[in-house]
Amino acid sequence: MLPAPTPDALAHSQRVAAHLRTLIDAAGGWLPFSRYMEAALYAPGLGYYAAGAMKFGAAGDFVTAPELTPLFGRTLAHALAPVLAETGGEVLELGAGSGRLAADLLGELERLDALPACYSILEVSADLRQRQQENIARKLPQLVDRVLWLDALPAHFSGVILGNEVLDALPAELVHWTDNGPLSRGVIVEGEAFAWQDRPIADPVLRARADALDLAPGYVSEINLAADALIGSLAQVLDRGLILLIDYGFVAAEYYHPQRHMGTLRAHYRHHALDEPFYLPGLCDLTAHVDFSAVARAATAAGLELAGYASQAGFLLNSGLTELLMQTPPSDAAAYLPQANAVQRLVSPAEMGELFKVIGFGKGGIAPLAEFARGDRRHSL
Ligand SMILES: C[S@@+](CC[C@H](N)C(=O)[O-])C[C@H]1O[C@@H](n2cnc3c(N)ncnc32)[C@H](O)[C@@H]1O
125 lines ligand 1 (CB under 6 A): yes
What is d(CA 191, CA 285) in angstroms, rounded to the nearest whole number?
24
Minimal-distance CA residue to ligand 1 atom 8 = 164
Minimal-distance CA residue to ligand 1 atom 4 = 97
109 lines ligand 1 (CB under 6 A): no
166 lines ligand 1 (CB under 6 A): yes
Q: Output the pLDDT for position 253.
A: 96
164 lines ligand 1 (CB under 6 A): yes
pTM, full prediction: 0.96
Q: Are 258 and 300 in contact (CB under 8 A)?
A: no
Q: Output the pLDDT for position 188.
A: 98
What is d(CA 367, CA 5) in angstroms, rounded to the nearest whole number?
50
Q: What is the pLDDT along the chain (381 residues), one digit of tens a residue?
A: 788 888 999 999 999 999 999 999 999 999 999 999 999 999 999 999 988 666 776 667 778 999 999 999 999 999 999 999 999 999 999 999 999 999 999 999 999 999 999 999 999 988 899 999 999 999 999 999 999 999 999 999 999 999 999 999 999 999 999 999 999 999 999 998 999 999 999 999 999 999 999 899 999 999 999 999 999 999 999 999 999 999 999 999 999 999 999 999 999 998 889 988 999 999 999 999 999 999 999 999 999 999 999 999 999 999 999 999 999 999 999 999 999 999 999 999 999 999 999 999 999 999 889 889 888 898 899
Pocket test for ligand 1, best of 166, 167, 230 (most atoms within 8 A of CB): 166
* 3-state SS, one letter per residue, for the chain: CCCCCCHHHHHHHHHHHHHHHHHHHHCCCCEEHHHHHHHHHHCCCCCCCCCCCCCECCCCCECCHHHHCHHHHHHHHHHHHHHHHHHCCEEEEECCCCCHHHHHHHHHHHHCCCCCCCEEEECCCHHHHHHHHHHHHHHCCCCHHHEEEECCCCCCEEEEEEEECCHHHCCCEEEEEECCEEEEEEEEEECCEEEEEEEECCCHHHHHHHHHHCCCCCCEEEECHHHHHHHHHHHHHEEEEEEEEEEEEECHHHHCCHHHCCCCCEEEECCEEECCCCCCCCCCEEECCEEHHHHHHHHHHCCCEEEEEEEHHHHHHHCCHHHHHCCCCCCCHHHHHHHHHHHHHHHCCCCHHHHEEEEEEEECCCCCCHHHCCCCCHHHC
Q: Output the pLDDT for position 3.
A: 87
Minimal-distance CA residue to ligand 1 atom 24 = 95
126 lines ligand 1 (CB under 6 A): no
The amino acid that residue 135 corresponds to is N
Q: Output the pLDDT for position 276.
A: 87
245 lines ligand 1 (CB under 6 A): no
CA of 166 to the centre of ligand 1 (A): 4
Residue 144's H or E segment, with its range, is none
96 lines ligand 1 (CB under 6 A): yes
Closest ligand 1 atom to 122 CA: 21
56 lines ligand 1 (CB under 6 A): yes
